[in-house]
Amino acid sequence: MRVAVITGASSGIGQSAAVHIARRDTGVILTFRGNPAGARDTVATIEKEGGTAVALPLDLGQSTSFPTFRDALTATLRSTWQRDDFDFLVNNAGASGSAPFPETTEAMFDDLQRVLLKGPYFLTQALLPLLADGGAIVNVASNSASFSGLEPGYSAYGSLKGALVVLTRYLAKELSPRGIRVNAVSPGSTRTRIADDAFERYPEVIPALAAKTALGRVGEPDDIGAVIATLLTPDCAWVTAQDIEVSGGYNI
């Protein structure tokens, strides 16, 4: 059985991606930080549908913890799937934060970059020896790094997500001798728990976002999770180094 590692899969896009990937006869190792109950829900959903999943804790903002996580991952692969490697990595775990450019502090920038760029960069590096040849990586970026999603207040967040897209291209180039494909997915406005459940706390913003979206609504986690899962399949075996916007036509 193929095995995927998905960071930040206790809710939202990561949870949806984990379920969609598991439906494609793939075992799932998912990570969580502050939402263990959500991680258990993800595992339970996958197991209810006949799949296999294991949840492991990981703080993506603490790169010093990556060797310990790699050891836990290795042990889980051996005990659950009798394997020493895995096939797919989805760098999904994220963080949010916004402020006008003149008010963006160095501390805020550093907090974001530890999770949005440094974390995926060095976690991928740490896990690369365990990633099987012919595998695939998907990095979850954001349309805030493209023209369609430019909104005031997201200069730090958008810049770091843009850097993740550039990293995607470099990884696609450098890992191609091993047959490893690397792509990015850039969601638009999506109903998730990010920013402390912002859509739940401020539902009045949803109609305005929907009005700016060609397909007339905000995104749902399954809109993104299904695309992530599809990118890992043989149907996309000739796709690498791409950033695919999944926004319902935001601002077109």
Whether residue 239 is predicted with pLDDT greater than 90 in this model: the reply is yes
pLDDT band at 130 (very low <50, low <70, confident <90, very high): very high
Count CB atoms within 10 A of the CB of residue 190. Answer: 23
In a domain, 251, yes or no: no
Render pLDDT for 150-205 as a digit per residue (tens, 0 to 9): 888 999 999 999 999 999 999 999 999 999 999 999 999 888 766 556 667 767 78
pTM more than 0.85 = yes
Cβ neighbourhood burial of 103 (10 Å; 0-12, 13-18, 19+): exposed
CATH of the domain at 39: 3.40.50.720
pLDDT computed for residue 214 by the predictor? 94
In a domain, 252, yes or no: no
Provide the number of structural domains found in the chain: 1
In a domain, 38, yes or no: yes
**Gap between the Cα atoms of 64 and 46, Å rounded:** 30
Q: Which of 157, 170, 202, 250 is catalytic?
A: 157
For the sheet with 86-91, list strands across it. 53-57, 26-32, 2-6, 86-91, 131-140, 181-187, 243-246
Active-site residue flag, 250? no
Structural domain that includes position 97 = 2-246
The backbone torsions φ and ψ at residue 167, rounded to the nearest 5 degrees and listed phi first, read -60, -40
Mean pLDDT of the chain: 95
